[in-house]
Amino acid sequence: MKKLLLGLAFIGGSFTFAQTLGLKAGLNVSTISADDSSSKAGFYGGAFVNLPVGKDFSVQPEVLFNGVGAKYDGNSDLRANLSYISVPVMFQYNALPNLYLEAGPQFSFLVDSQFKYKNLSVKANDDVKGFDFGIGIGAGYYVTKNIGITARYIAGLTDVLKEVQGMQPEGKNNVFQIGLAYKFK
């Protein structure tokens, strides 16, 4: 029993020291998959921890603030602004020493939502679902040991709006992200 506990402590300690902490931020270009919406620019930023699980593989959970939404084609002054705390869990493969490919789920929790028209802003938290789920795929390249360029596409799998009078409005968040990452270790 002592050997088992000692072995688990050794593995846990090695795992702790092998992790890399970092920050990332950048541009979101998002839309809601409805016929009358077009893309809108937003911001994302947050922290990540990279956990190696093999020579070329790692898992990277993140906590990000995500500003997404859409503009509506019929009226360029009408916008949906949705703010989420997102938790992507990306499974990464190091294709080259500085280049990685990634894919994984993203869990997002609504912080705020507003519909804006010119100078008028209306809270929409009662109309927008509090949880959003998507699948992300992306890549990154570390230009230096600590600074990298990242790109990711998140395809939403859940409808954004709540059911209204027995009808479920369709429309999923779709987001393209490009940004910078900084690793502390």
The per-residue pLDDT of the chain, averaged, comes to 88
pLDDT in tens, 22-44: 999 999 999 998 767 789 999 99
- Distance of alpha carbon 155 from alpha carbon 158, whole angstroms: 9
On whether the CB atoms of residues 66 and 83 are closer than 8 A, the answer is yes
Tens of pLDDT, residues 47-101 = 999 999 999 999 999 999 999 998 886 666 788 899 999 999 999 999 998 999 9
Range scoring the smallest mean pLDDT among 100-109, 118-127, 128-137, 150-159: 118-127
Q: Where are the domains of the chain?
A: 20-183
Q: Which CATH number fits domain 20-183: 3.30.200.20, 3.40.50.720, 3.40.50.410, 2.40.160.20?
A: 2.40.160.20
